[in-house]
Amino acid sequence: MSESRTPPMDSSQSVSLELLPFNNTALRRLPVEDTGEPGSRTVRAACFSRIRTLQPLVRPRFVALSQSALALLGLGEQQVLSDPLAPEYLSGSRLLPGSEPAAHCYCGHQFGLFAGQLGDGAVMYLGEVESGTQRRWEIQVKGAGVTPYSREGDGRKVLRSSIREFLCSEAMASLGIPSTRAASLVTSDLYVNRDPLKSGQQVPERCSVVMRLAPSFIRFGSFEIFLGQDEFSGLKGPSAGQDDIRSQLLDYVIETFYPRIQQAHSNRKARNTAFYREVMIRTAELVAKWQCVGFCHGVLNTDNMSILGLTLDYGPYGFMDRFDPDFICNASDKRGRYSYQAQPSVCRWNLARLAEALGSELDGSEAGAILDDFMLTYEAFYLSIMRKKLGLLRKEDTEDSELISDLLRVMHNTGADFTNTFRLLSYVPWPEKSDNERATVGPVVDLILQQCASVEDLKVANKPTMEDKLRMTILSMAQNNPAMFSMVADRPGVAQQLERLSEIKDLRRLAEECAGTSDLSLIKKERLNAMNNTNPRVVLRNYIAQNAIQAAEKGDFSEVKNVLKVLEKPFSDAFGPEHLAGPSACEQKEQKATDFIFDYARKPPAWAKQICIT
């Protein structure tokens, strides 16, 4: 369930920062540690820890604001910009009247292993604001300093990572994908040392803070603080065995964020089962939407899974350029646990960990049955969205799934650009009986073929990554047992796949859409509208974010603002299809990372391959 975009408010409707109507329900309903003890520590029997001392930035100033996110709080962009104290308020450097700084306690399974207590190590909860839309928004500042959960960290975030979170939060919301929001980005003259390239060489980077908001930032890991000792890691949650607090947390979440479920069930177990099923459905829909825009989260640990089905915590995320099911956006993920194609199964695995954390609050057999429904639920959402991406609206053919798989296989084998290929499909003309199919579709196919990777790029992309021993075994099989080898390794070549593309199988499927109606113009209009509102023209590719980061690090924030404006209208087609073709090979060689003038929808330039995100 995605949040609707709130229209901009004029200054006469907006409130001032000092008058934000805080109503900090979470701190009233849930146990809060308030010892005042400094430094990192294990926090027992509490869901939050109060923060009594702020850690101000040096000369904080705005990099960018999101007008639509501010409007959710009843704030106007110009009013915020005109407030000289706003950068301090929105970075956690000065206390907003009514706010109550705190940090949230949670655990998590990280890369498959229980990691024990984690918590908000660089995030400070400010409170919850009741907006004029009868919604409550929890406000956080990310990068505001040390908390009880910082462990060995300094609680700071740098400009580079803050720009990525700010832009992607708003990009996802504009794509209609449920997400936490980012209202402001503040940087400063306070520096910390970081190793951005993981090369062993640290460099000073500016401390920066993102103010983000959501109805709640409670996550799967919030319930894992009650887990007993894990048999593999030997760790346990800081509130292990505190079933009374677990019940408090569960009651708070259901009553506050799932009121219909609360009202519909008088039996506690039935209520909790309905809640768990709804979390499963929201998670399945969320990951289906990710897959359909080629988004890869990168770190789908249980502490990064929202209990409300929101995209949460933007670290080493990435939108695919060349379509690849094995796409990994996190350079630290050496085994591909969080690859693009693994995301649905990982989300199911995380839901299983949530069920374990809820323990006796759920009936085990019913929770298992709900988990068994996950993949079917996900596939139904995925197929529904993919039909819209292909303009298949009026008829659900049993072979649609195969058609989609065939298209993706062609895209994979040819190294086609995921975003641009789907966008170009809306330019495929409607098949008329009198038309010569090949002649009609030819110009669009030419543009689609320009989205494919070069032979050199495909060789690099398909370079074997398997161990030498396994590779030698397969080569030996090819020589000594050709029949067995053909069973495991026979794949059509690129040339054959391009030929299949030229057969334009989807055109025949499109023709089925007009069966039973004579108003072809209406069908065409519906199809184009659905496709152009489902296939974005632009997504936040890594090279786009990198351009904005490099400009901002030199003191030029204009590119961050420009990118934000483009991402806020991802389906806008200000240019024709020819702009999706991208620069020529010669232009790509000449284009450098310092070039800031480009069409955001184009395929990435050659230098983008050097970007490494961990």
In a domain, 521, yes or no: yes
Residue of 466, 453, 464 whose CA lies nearest to 494: 453
Phi, psi at residue 70, to the nearest 5°? Answer: -60, -35
* Amino acid letter for position 317: Y
Structural domain includes residue 5: no
Global pTM reads 0.87
Which among 248, 342, 337, 350 has a CA at the least distance from the CA of 307? 350
Instruction: Mark the ranges of the chain whose per-residue pLDDT is less than 50.
Output: 1-12, 434, 466, 485, 487-504, 584-597
Q: Which residue in this structure is represented by tokens 């929101």? A: 310
Among candidate residues 533, 567, 598, the one where a domain is terminated: 533
For strands 61-65 and 203-214, give the pairing: unpaired
Residues 395, 322 within the same domain: no
- Paired tokens of 374: 């996950």
The pLDDT of residue 477 is 54
Q: Is residue 467 part of a domain?
A: yes
Give residue 596's pLDDT. 38
Query: What is the amino acid identity at position 96?
Result: L
Give Rg (Cα) of the chain: 25
Residue 603 lies in a domain: no
Tokens of 142: 């990310």
C-alpha 250/C-alpha 279 separation (Å) is 13
For residues 340 and 397, membership in a common domain is answered with no
Burial class (CB in 10 A: 0-12, 13-18, 19+), 349: middle
303 is an active site residue: yes
**249 and 186 fall within a common domain:** yes
Residues in the chain: 614
The two tokens of residue 215 are 């109805």
Alpha helices in 462-541 (DSSP H): 468-480, 482-489, 494-502, 505-512, 520-532
Q: What is the pLDDT of residue 304?
A: 98
| Same-domain check for residues 443 and 486 | yes
Q: Which are the contacts of 173, defined by CB distance < 8 A and separation ≥ 6?
A: 2, 3, 5, 68, 69, 179, 181
Q: What is the pLDDT of residue 578?
A: 55
Torsion, Cα of 609, 196, 317, 552 (10° steps):
-90
Catalytic choice (120, 303, 313, 321): 303
Kindly state whether residue 110 falls inside one of the protein's structural domains. Answer: yes
CA 296 – CA 328 distance, rounded (Å): 7
Residues 308 and 443 in one domain: no
* Residue at 581 is within a domain: no
Query: Which of 468, 502, 533 is the last residue in one of the domains?
Result: 533
Residue 10 lies in a domain: no
What is the rounded distance in angstroms from the CA atom of residue 379 to the CA atom of residue 109? 25
Please check whether residues 303 and 421 belong to one and the same domain.
no
Calculate the alpha carbon distances from 287 to 336, 341, 374, 392, 487 in Å. 17, 11, 11, 21, 32
Decide if 196 contacts 160 (C-beta within 8 A). yes
Q: Is 111 left (phi over 0), alpha (psi -120 to 50) or beta?
A: left
* Shared-domain flag, residues 353 and 420: no
Do 457 and 352 lie in one domain? The reply is: no
Secondary structure of residue 305 in the 3-state scheme: strand
Instruction: Clarify whether residues 346 and 405 are in a common domain.
Output: no
Nearby residues of 216 by Cβ (< 8 Å), 6 or more positions away: 26, 138, 253, 256, 257, 307, 308
pLDDT at 302: 98
318/316 Cα distance (integer angstroms): 7
Q: Domain check: are 448 and 352 in the same one? A: no
For residue 306, give the DSSP letter: B
Domain that holds residue 456: 391-533
Q: Tokens standing for 185?
A: 């980005």
Which tokens in the block code for residue 276? 């768990």
Residues 333 and 433 in one domain: no
- Please report the pLDDT score of residue 36 as a whole number: 82
Q: What is the CB neighbour count within 10 angstroms for residue 61?
A: 14
**Please, which residues have CB within 8 angstroms of residue 28's CB and are 6 or more apart in sequence?**
none
Partnered with residue 33 across adjacent β-strands are 49
Using the 3D structure, point to which of 477, 506, 533 is the last residue of a domain. 533
- The count of structural domains within the chain is 2
Q: Would residue 8 count as lying in a domain?
A: no
| pLDDT confidence of residue 462 | 57
Question: Same domain for 398 and 335?
Answer: no
